[in-house]
Amino acid sequence: MGLWYLLRLVSQRSLLSCRLEFEDRRLDRASLFPLFDDEGRTRMLLITAEENGRIMLANWAPGLFVRDWALRNHLRLRFADLNDASMWDEEGFEDLWHFDPRWVLGDERYQGHGAVPHLRSTNIPGYDQTMSGVAFDQSLGRALYVVRRSGESVSVRRFNAHTLATAAKRRRAAHVRPRGAAAVGWQLRPFWRFP
């Protein structure tokens, strides 16, 4: 792996609170999160704008994201054409993942936004605490590498179909609540049993 190859990788951390340039305007403090499937293929882009607390989604397409030689991030679409995340069908991203170690969507400015609970359930650190980084190809079309931490050691592995297997099991378990637990939670007492 050469130096030129490493320089072309895009780490998720470099997309947090960064400048995003659209065709019609620039956002100075925005975060960009690729939403990808279990195999690492990007399906959507999640964009948060800190200045106005908006959360937007866009379908990913080849050539949509470009990082130039000065490391400026460009999205080849108009900001005015972006749809709010609450306008999208939640089932469209329930099988997708994103990596946000800072939990940007937990920020106070995004509270009350209708899409936040469903989008937060796609965050990998909520299910796998050992993952500390993700690197994408230069177009954000695919997650290529995963950084894992265990104590003092760090390992870098290629992203593959089994990378998120444990996290997927934990996510499914979090969404399925046993019936017994729901029934035991609280009970009504008949009025004749009151003292």
What is the per-residue pLDDT across 92-113, written as a single tens digit (0 to 9) for each?
777 899 999 889 888 888 877 7
Least confident interval from 17-26, 38-47, 161-170: 161-170
Q: State the pLDDT confidence band at 79, using cuts at 50, 70 and 90.
A: very high
* Residue predicted with more confidence, 22 or 187: 22
Q: Letter for the amino acid at 193?
A: R
What mean pLDDT is predicted for residues 55-69?
A: 91
pLDDT digits (tens, 9 = 90+) for 152-168: 899 999 999 888 888 88
Q: Name the amino acid, one letter, at 68.
A: D
Asked if residue 122 has pLDDT above 80, the reply is: yes
Query: String of b and e for 145-155 (b: at least 16 CB within 10 Å)?
Result: bbbbeeeeeee
DSSP code, position 79: G
Using DSSP bridges, classify how beta strands 42-49 and 54-59 pair: parallel, antiparallel or unpaired.
Answer: antiparallel
Beta strands 18-21; 73-75: pairing state: parallel
**Other Cβ atoms within 10 Å of 65 Cβ, number:** 26
Is residue 184 predicted with pLDDT exceeding 50?
no
Q: What is the pTM of this model?
A: 0.81
The angle formed by the CA atoms of residues 152, 158 and 159, to the nearest 5 degrees, is 105
